[in-house]
Structure 1
Amino acid sequence: MRPTLRFLALVLAVLGASQSRADFGIPGFELVHTVPVETALATPDLREPVQVWREMFDAAKKEIVVAQFYVAGEPGEVLEGVIDRLEAAAARGVKIRFLMEDKGQRLSVPATLERLKKIPGIDFRLLDYNKLSGNGIIHAKYFIVDGMQAFVGSQNFDWRALKHIHETGLRISEPVMVAKIQAIFEQDWQAQALLAAGKTVPVLPQPAEAFDITQKAFLLSSPRAWNPPGVGDSEEVLPRLLAEAKSEVRVQVMDYAPLSYAPGRRPFYAVIDNAVRSAVARGVKVKLMVSNWNTEEPPIDHLKSLAMLPGIEIRIVTLPQASTGFIPFARVIHTKTMVIDGELAWVGTSNWSGGYFDKSRNLEIVLRDKAMAARVAALHEQTWTSSYAAPIDVMKHYPKPAKAAP
């Protein structure tokens, strides 16, 4: 059987087996997905984050630690019920530590912030990650319960991420992985305390030898200077993973651009783009799927340039607006995943542009598992072949995307 047919057969086998179970996963890892309402997309074998988050918070006995970019609830929407579970946990005596990016206050809903801060016994702190890395943020979205299970994904602590945005994450119970995620939280928690006291946060010693990417499961994070032992550097490892690709790479991100963010300008950042172009030059087929938010200038010009290379396909996904009317910062694909050769799955929190892998706190889970790779690839294929995805048109002038207002 040819490799392509073998891969398709594996995808079908995984999906067929999943129909008889409530969720899809492999030992230690459950794939969790948000299907935007009022779309033709469907993933009945994947649980939604609302169900998983509530279950995890309800199971807490000692401590819940949370790290988020921002928080945004809406009366009558699903995030309110999630916060109910945090309040119930606190009432049971569970300790809650909540770390949020200082800049995230501008994006947060004040009422949600106040409700969280009023949870009895909660230790709610703000960390200005810019003071650590320079022009960086806490962009990771994760939490850990009792040091035994964790959730990492593209979902922000935002009601829209639980209903109106295409999102993907992982519920993790594998002990070594959970411990490493906890170590990242403790590092940033300590950094906040040091900065609040007017002290400097020392960088962590990094091993001289290259990170082992042959492991079956490993954690990557950024920025490298504050990664605890055993955690790989996202910026260094991503190009190495792309360099080992032999036949096909599938990528889904909200934004892709060889550009960084700086006051008043977009400096060139070639690390990821060079690795993608190198893979294409070796004959690897690349299927890159981005959101319609990626059509603003100058990122769209770089995407058009990339699309001119033989062997790469780029599709832009535009989700329909909700029947209730325009919702700011919603109705978009926000998933950050990659599949290499049908054998390796990447699920993370970073967009693929400068500032995410080099300046900001992000987490990426990498699994060398054919079943997980097949399921993530099938998730990619579902949107890729949907009516919402269209090949990039290098001759088209794309209008500025409406994010905050129509």
Structure 2
Amino acid sequence: MTSQPLYTQLKESEEVEEQVLWFTQHHVSARRYYRCALLIALLVTMLFCAMLFQLLIFPFLLVTPMAMPEVIPNQDNKCDDPCRWVLVESIPEGMIYNESITSNPSIYQAWLNLIRSANSSMDIASFYWTLTNEDTETSEPTASQGEEILQELLRLPQRGVVLRIVVNPPSSPGQKNDLQALTQSGALIRVVELPKLTGGVLHTKFLVVDGKHMFIGSANMDWRSLTQVKELGATVYNCSCLVKDLQKIFQAYWALGVPNASIPSPWPEEYSTSYNKDTPLAVTLNSTSSQIYLSSAPPALCAQGRTEDLQAILSIIDDARVFVYVAVMDYIPTMEFSHPKKYWPEIDDHLRKAAYERKVHIRLLISCWHHTEPFMFPFLRSLAAMRDNKTHYDIDVKLFIVPTTAAQARIPYARVNHNKYLVTDKVAYIGTSNWSGDYFVQTAGSALIVNQTGVATASDGQAMVQKQLQDVFERDWNSEYSREISSFSQNKCKAR
């Protein structure tokens, strides 16, 4: 029979078909697998190339000839402290304003409040110390305020408060008396040899209490700064974010107060800050949203992120659109103490540019007393000469003279407007430096800058910081103590 071979043939044929089908199915699956693997490999390669481009090539495409942005620590620039600002002044004995004119609390009372409120620590940066009649070899009753301040400071170590002081090397025996008494009371004092380190002096004037309160301004630790010299400063309370930043400047001075100290370059990270003109501290000041930062001089003492004092001033002038009002003791666009003398036009150029290009109204209120340098007058007259009704270059210059009796005239280095501030339509600046090149290039100084632009009135009803400072300036500008520079026929402080 033929059925068996046929069955065998059919069976073999089915087996061949099954093998072919198996091979075909697996070949298709393999092709799908290889396609998927190829696609995945392609995607991974593309992703790797994109990452490589971003990391190695893309940054170079962003580089321009402009300076790279300042590198600052990654910190939060917002502060939740309920900070309070008080503008304070010293008005010299016998200098009277109209009762309706702007007045502010005294620096004497502000210092007393700060000293008496100290619980754990107080740091003071100062140019020199002459808080008593003995220091100045005088017998003035008005020295009593300075003498009281000294007694309050002497009590601090007894109350368990750590008192630290940094000071410029004393230039006379009288400047050592207070420091010796403070040392004996338990205060920690370091003399910073800045004349050797930078060729300048430690001209800074500020107080820090418990890491949360501060004073900064023109007043020295001198009884005359409380009763015989016109001074201006700012006291800030309950503002640890800002005050701890000021303590970093103090710590830099403190580090330089050890024997054989040298200025580090760069400064260690703990001295750096994230609060500067580009990224100011956002804070509530007198119940009002504000932007604030501290500047410092000279550049060698500025750690990473710190705005140099000169750059702060120039940026404020450049940002002004309506007015720039300046009140300083000295305005001299030179390196005043250099040998040979050098011209230094940085601030002067920016003031002229503001008047010429943007028609900003410039007012300079400069002090005039028996120590005023005669060579300051030609520079001031040059600025005043820009005023022109046709071109609308708007620069005014006045000299401020503190009235003096015969007895007051015998007090050394007194009876002067010692203010050092700048106010514009946007910003308030309170500093510790006179305006000549040496103070920004070699000498240690510091400043507080506040911006409350866009806010008309503080939430608590007070005037804005900028408006408070503007009111002080306009009070002095319009007072009987202020005179046009054209009324001075010679290069000395005696009006026609």
Change in Cα spacing, 1:209 to 1:385, as seen in structure 2 (3 Å) is closer
Cα distance per residue 1:257-297 (max 9 Å; x no partner): 10113355431111111111111112111010000048522
Q: Quick check: 1:60 aligned with 2:118? A: yes
Aligned to 1:201: 263
After the TM superposition, which segments of 4 or more aligned residues of structure 1 sit over 4 Å from their partners?
A: 42-45, 205-211
Matches within 5 A, 1:270-289: 270-282=345-357, 283-289=359-365
CA distance in 2, matches of 1:381, 1:211: 26
Q: Quick check: 1:156 aligned with 2:232? A: no
Measured after TM superposition, the shift of residue 188 of structure 1 is 1.0
Aligned to 1:115, the other structure's residue is in SS state helix
Cα distance per residue 1:9-34 (max 9 Å; x no partner): xxxxxxxxxxxxxxxxx943211111
CA distance in 1, matches of 2:400, 2:352: 22
CA distance in 2, matches of 1:172, 1:227: 22
Change in Cα spacing, 1:325 to 1:166, as seen in structure 2 (3 Å) is closer
Q: Quick check: 1:37 aligned with 2:106? A: no
CA distance in 1, matches of 2:232, 2:346: 24
Q: Quick check: 1:365 aligned with 2:448? A: yes
CA distance in 2, matches of 1:385, 1:359: 35
CA distance in 2, matches of 1:118, 1:214: 40
Matches within 5 A, 1:313-324: 313-322=396-405, 324=407
Matches within 5 A, 1:84-99: 84-99=151-166
Cα distance per residue 1:187-210 (max 9 Å; x no partner): 1101122xx1x2432133589999
Aligned to 2:423: 339
Measured on the aligned residues, the alpha-carbon RMSD in Å equals 2.5
User: Which segment is superposed worse, 259-268 or 139-148?
Assistant: 259-268
Cα distance per residue 1:131-154 (max 9 Å; x no partner): 222x21111101111111111110
Q: Quick check: 1:111 aligned with 2:188? A: no
Aligned to 1:7: none
Equivalent residue letter for 1:31: L
CA distance in 2, matches of 1:97, 1:210: 26
Equivalent residue letter for 2:432: T
One of 187, 206, 209 as aligned partner of 1:145: 209
CA distance in 1, matches of 2:129, 2:486: 36
* Identity of matched residues, %: 26
Whether the aligned pair in 2 keeps the contact of 1:222 and 1:233 (CA below 8 Å) is yes
Whether the aligned pair in 2 keeps the contact of 1:254 and 1:290 (CA below 8 Å) is yes
CA distance in 1, matches of 2:473, 2:310: 23
Aligned to 1:74: 132
Q: Quick check: 1:350 aligned with 2:433? A: yes
User: Which segment is superposed worse, 289-298 or 244-253?
Assistant: 289-298
Change in Cα spacing, 1:213 to 1:332, as seen in structure 2 (3 Å) is farther
Whether the aligned pair in 1 keeps the contact of 2:368 and 2:493 (CA below 8 Å) is no
Change in Cα spacing, 1:57 to 1:357, as seen in structure 2 (3 Å) is same
Which structure carries more helix by proportion? 2
Equivalent residue letter for 1:200: S
One of 81, 85, 109 as aligned partner of 1:51: 109
- When normalised by structure 2's length, the TM-score is 0.70
CA distance in 2, matches of 1:117, 1:84: 13
Measured after TM superposition, the shift of residue 324 of structure 1 is 3.2
Aligned to 1:373, the other structure's residue is in SS state helix
Equivalent residue letter for 2:129: V
Aligned to 1:117, the other structure's residue is in SS state helix
Structure 1 residues without counterparts, runs of 5 or longer: 1-25, 402-406
Whether the aligned pair in 1 keeps the contact of 2:245 and 2:273 (CA below 8 Å) is no
Aligned to 2:187: 122
Aligned to 1:165: 229
One of 470, 478, 491 as aligned partner of 1:385: 478
Bigger-Rg structure (1/2):
2
CA distance in 1, matches of 2:279, 2:240: 19
Whether the aligned pair in 2 keeps the contact of 1:204 and 1:225 (CA below 8 Å) is no
Whether the aligned pair in 2 keeps the contact of 1:203 and 1:226 (CA below 8 Å) is no
Structure 2 residues without counterparts, runs of 5 or longer: 1-81, 134-140, 282-290, 388-393, 456-463
Aligned to 1:329: 413
CA distance in 1, matches of 2:103, 2:385: 37
Q: Quick check: 1:376 aligned with 2:451? A: no
Aligned to 1:288, the other structure's residue is in SS state strand
Measured after TM superposition, the shift of residue 107 of structure 1 is 8.3
